[in-house]
Amino acid sequence: MAEIFEYKGRRKLERKIAVLPGVQDALDEVRFEVAARAEALLLAHRQEGHASIDVEDGDVDKYVILDDERGKKAALSIEYGRAEQFIIRKDKNGQTYLDIIPAADGLFILARAANLPKKRKGKVHLD
C-alpha cells in the first residue's frame, strides 16, 4: 500500500506530473472522447447551427468548450436552460410590444458528454 506524505511544494510536484508526456497524452484522449460525444449530442439538438464544440489547450489542462460566439451567444442557456423572459420593445412607428421568450430546459451537452451530474447552476446575471 502506498503512503502519501504532506510536504511543502506539493503544487510544484503536481504540476511536474501533470505536464509529463504520458499524462498529457491521456488528457488528449479523454478530451477527444468528450468532444466527440458533445458534438453528437449538440447535432441531435441543433436548430440554427450556430453553436459548436471546440477544444483548447491550457498550460496544463485540456478544455472542451461549447461555443456560440457566431450565434446568439447562448452557450450558457444551451447548457443550463433559461427562465421565461419578457422584453419590451418599440418599433420604428413608436408602437410598444411585449415579447415573451419562453423558458427552456438545459440540454447539458458538456455535462452529459463528460458523464458529469446534470446540475443547474445558481442564478447568473450577465449585465
Are 105 and 79 within 8 A, CB to CB?
no
Residue bearing the bigger pLDDT, 28 or 122: 28
Amino acid at 86: F
> Do the domain assignments include residue 60?
yes
- Rounded to whole angstroms, what are the CA distances from 28 to 4, 15, 127? 27, 17, 35
> Do the domain assignments include residue 79?
no
pLDDT per residue as tens digits for the range 33-75? 999 999 999 999 877 778 999 999 999 999 999 999 877 778 9
> Do the domain assignments include residue 21?
yes
How far is residue 17's CA from residue 24's CA, in Å, rounded to a whole number? 9
Domain count for the chain, please give it.
Answer: 1
> Do the domain assignments include residue 23?
yes
> Do the domain assignments include residue 81?
no
Q: Report pLDDT for 7.
A: 62
- Rounded to whole angstroms, what are the CA distances from 51 to 47, 55, 68, 80, 122? 9, 13, 4, 14, 23
> Do the domain assignments include residue 124?
no
> Do the domain assignments include residue 101?
no
The model's pTM? 0.73
Are 66 and 80 within 8 A, CB to CB?
no
Range of the domain at 25: 10-73+106-113
